[in-house]
């Protein structure tokens, strides 16, 4: 028994039923399944390890105090420096409220901090059965393999053999972590000329567009799609020469460049010439089209699971 997969749609930025005054992704009524049965299916699906992506080299599931803890290890393609990347997820269930909390940690350092990158929240409503979903983004500082891969691409384009290293002690901000490069002393590019080089890299190699005020707008492909979740995204680069600093304002799938999801910082150090990079995620509640794209395939999988289990 279960609702028909794909026979109903999800509306982003709908008025929330669970949190009046807020916005959520809200499904149409789901026929053929009760709210209790759908919640039961979600819990069985997750506890049964069926959220495995299929690209992992390692998938560990444990239960603690009623919550499900998942550790996944992925191989990083050699083109992005090789090695592995580990992510963590925690699922919590509230049967009385028919709600599911899903915390996602994009790396060991973030997991150790105790603050997830995102908390996805789902509430299953009854009479009629509908799914409500929203994401809470948290203000976390990232300095992991994805940023390392981005820096190493730039170093390679410079012709340098210097390496980038993730989760290093920050040079610019005491007590924080960053991606840092080795000293760069084997190429004509210097700390003073780096941003001229980087502008050319963005406009010529990455096909970004420089505006009259010097701002550079970039449309990114899913080239960093190690986890199989990449999508097209948009960014705006602002260079502050007096600070030796690049601010890259990131807008996710928002082509209008209005809803910022985070800022990537690049600090250029002198004597010796080194690069330092980190990202700060913008906090907030999110329930746009991309978030409808998170909940839809998940609930489709649950309904298929229920149908096959009946």
Q: pLDDT at position 227, please?
A: 39
Q: Is 25 exposed, middle or buried (0-12, 13-18, 19+ CB in 10 A)?
A: buried
Say what the pLDDT of residue 31 is.
93
CB 119 within 8 A of CB 28: no
Q: Which two tokens stand for residue 159?
A: 């012709």
What pLDDT is attached to residue 84?
86
Grade residue 223 by pLDDT with cuts at 50, 70 and 90: very low
| pLDDT, position 222 | 53
pLDDT, position 231: 64
Average pLDDT for 215-232 = 65
Q: Mean pLDDT, to the nearest integer, of 12-29? A: 98
Kindly report the pTM of this predicted structure: 0.86
Q: How many CB atoms lie within 10 A of CB 70?
A: 20
Among 176, 181, 184, which residue's Cα sits nearest to residue 166?
Answer: 181
The structure tokens listed for 290 are 């991309």
Average the pLDDT over 68-83 and give the result.
Answer: 85
pLDDT, position 194: 98
Give the whole-number percent of the chain exceeding pLDDT 70: 94
Q: What's the pLDDT score for residue 158?
A: 96
Q: 75-79, 135-139, 274-278: lowest mean pLDDT where?
A: 75-79
Query: Chain-wide mean pLDDT for the chain?
Result: 92
Residues 164, 36: Cα–Cα separation, whole Å: 50
DSSP string of the chain? --PPTTSS-EEEEEEPSSSTTSEEEEEPP-TT--HHHHHHHHHHHHHTTTT--S--SEEEEEEETTEEEEEEEEEPPGGGT-SEEEEEEEEEEETTTTEEEEEEESSHHHHHHT--SEEEEEEEETTTTEEEEEEEE---EE-SHHHHHHHHHHHHHHT----EEEEEEPSSSTT-EEEEEPP--SSS--TTTHHHHHHHIIIIIS--EE-TTS-EEEEE-STT-SSS----EEEEEEEEGGGTEEEEEE-TT-TTS-S--EEEEEEEETTTTEEEEEEEEPPEEE-SHHHHHHHHHHHHHHHHHHHHH-
What's the average model confidence in pLDDT over 68-94? 89
Dihedral sign of CA atoms 45, 46, 51, 56 in order = negative
Q: How many CB atoms lie within 10 A of CB 137?
A: 17
pLDDT value for 229: 42
pLDDT above 70: residue 4: no
Question: How does pLDDT run across 168-211, given as a tens digit for each residue?
Answer: 999 999 999 999 999 999 999 999 999 999 999 999 988 999 99
Specify which residues 96 forms β-bridges with: none
pLDDT score, position 240? 97
Segment 109-167, tens digit of pLDDT: 899 999 999 999 999 999 999 999 999 999 999 998 889 988 998 999 999 999 999 99
Percent of the chain with pLDDT over 90: 81
């Amino acid at each position: 028994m279960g609702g028909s997969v794909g026979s109903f749609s999800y509306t982003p930025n709908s008025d929330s039923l669970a949190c009046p005054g807020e916005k959520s992704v809200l499904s149409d009524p789901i026929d053929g399944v009760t709210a209790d049965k759908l919640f039961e299916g979600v819990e069985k699906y997750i506890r049964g390890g069926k959220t495995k992506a299929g690209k992992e080299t390692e998938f560990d599931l444990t239960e603690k105090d009623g919550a499900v803890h998942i550790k996944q290890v992925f191989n990083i393609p050699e083109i992005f420096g090789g090695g592995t990347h580990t992510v963590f997820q925690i699922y919590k269930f509230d049967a009385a409220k028919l709600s599911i909390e899903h915390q996602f940690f994009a790396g060991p350092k973030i997991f150790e901090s105790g603050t997830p990158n995102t908390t996805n929240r789902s509430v299953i409503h009854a009479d009629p059965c509908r799914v409500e979903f929203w994401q809470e983004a948290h203000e976390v500082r990232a300095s992991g393999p994805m940023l390392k891969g981005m820096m190493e691409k730039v170093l390679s384009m410079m012709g340098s053999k210097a390496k980038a290293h993730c989760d290093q002690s920050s040079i610019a901000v005491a007590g924080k972590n960053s991606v840092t490069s080795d000293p760069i002393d084997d190429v004509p590019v210097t700390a003073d000329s780096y941003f001229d080089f980087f502008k050319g890299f963005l406009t010529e190699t990455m096909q970004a567009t420089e505006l009259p005020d010097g701002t550079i707008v970039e449309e990114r492909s899913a080239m960093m799609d190690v986890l199989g979740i990449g999508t097209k995204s948009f960014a705006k680069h602002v260079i502050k020469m007096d600070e030796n600093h690049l601010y890259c304002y990131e807008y996710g799938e928002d082509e209008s460049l209005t809803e910022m999801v985070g800022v990537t910082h690049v600090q250029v150090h002198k004597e010796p010439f080194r690069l330092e990079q980190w990202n700060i995620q913008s906090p907030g509640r999110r329930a746009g089209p991309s978030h409808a794209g998170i909940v839809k395939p998940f609930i489709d999988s649950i309904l298929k699971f229920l149908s096959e289990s009946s």
